[in-house]
Amino acid sequence: MKADKHCICLTCGTQFKATSGPPAHCPICEDERQYVGWAGQQWTTLDEMRGKYQNHFKEEEPDVHSIHTEPRFGIGQRALLVRTPKGNVLWDCVSLLDDASIDHVKKLGGIACIAVSHPHYYSSIVEWSQAFGKVPIYLHQADAQWVMRPDPAIEHWRGDKHAVLGDMTLINTGGHFEGFQVLHWPAGAGGRGILFSGDQPQVCMDRRWVTFMYSYPNSIPLGRSAIRRIASSLEPLAFDRLYGAFPGLTVATEAKARVQRSIERYQRAIGA
């Protein structure tokens, strides 16, 4: 009899609960915000990934280190390890976890907790949690249905805000997903504040601007009420820097003002 395996969707990078064979479907990819790969639904495992891929670490600035898998895997997002005096937060996640990555993270102080912006980046969150002592994983309750590998370490919080390691706060903005969350670190960037946004706001190729979408790969925009909710959620936060989901997509300075201008531009574009 074959041992059960935790399969990973090749297109979105999400790891599923252990099964004796590949799951029949990936609900995350079948949702209209994502897509099933053009070659059809395909699966892999961590054992198959190790040796073919590796995680590259980069110090983005003091106490912020990015983690990005190469060659590109799944959606291609980066994770960010945020170092604080009260412990390190892994913001967003990547599917690959290997001995080299564990060793590197331990040298940076390990992980005290994990928080992920939305289901497209849930990837192998349970593997990462277990590798660092079964640390808590903070996800919003509104997105609980999208967890493909349930685990006791996952804590589904409710409401608009959730404190993390003292001065850091998760903010539920809705929009791209109902449970979408951003991470605000007021002590970041030398006290000027950092917003870790994942896909929302999404940093544009012209990094003076950000944008908002219900589906990025399928080009479905967000409507007026969603943009108003996002704007209202971000307005009280002070931040000068914004880290987006992908390598290089960072608004290095004047981030809050640029987000506000981008919201106004977006509203004009949709006739709001």
Three-class DSSP labels, the chain:
CCCCECCEECCCCCECCCECCCCCCCHHHHCCCCCCCCCCCCEECHHHHECCEEEEEEEEECCEEEEEEECCCCCCCEEEEEEECCEEEEECCCCCCCHHHHHHHHHCCCCCEEECCCHHHCCCHHHHHHHCCCCCEEEEHHHHHHCCCCCCCEEEECCCEEEECCCEEEEECCCCCCCCEEEEECCHHHHCCEEEEECCCEECCCCCCEECEEECCCCEECCHHHHHHHHHHHCCCCCCEEEECCCCCEECCCHHHHHHHHHHHHHHHCCC
Is the pLDDT assigned to residue 66 strictly greater than 60?
Answer: yes
Is the pLDDT assigned to residue 57 strictly greater than 50?
Answer: yes
- Domain residue limits, the chain: 8-269
Average pLDDT for 72-97: 98
Q: Which CATH class is domain 8-269?
A: alpha beta
Give the pLDDT of residue 1: 33
Task: Give tens-digit pLDDT for 165-178.
Answer: 989 999 999 999 99
Is the pLDDT assigned to residue 3 strictly greater than 90?
Answer: no
Average pLDDT for 190-213: 97
pTM of the predicted protein model: 0.96
Give the pLDDT of residue 92: 98
**Per-residue confidence band for 123, with pLDDT thresholds at 50, 70 and 90:** very high
Q: What average pLDDT does the chain have?
A: 97
Is the pLDDT assigned to residue 2 strictly greater than 70?
Answer: no
Is the pLDDT assigned to residue 109 strictly greater than 80?
Answer: yes
Average pLDDT for 206-220: 97
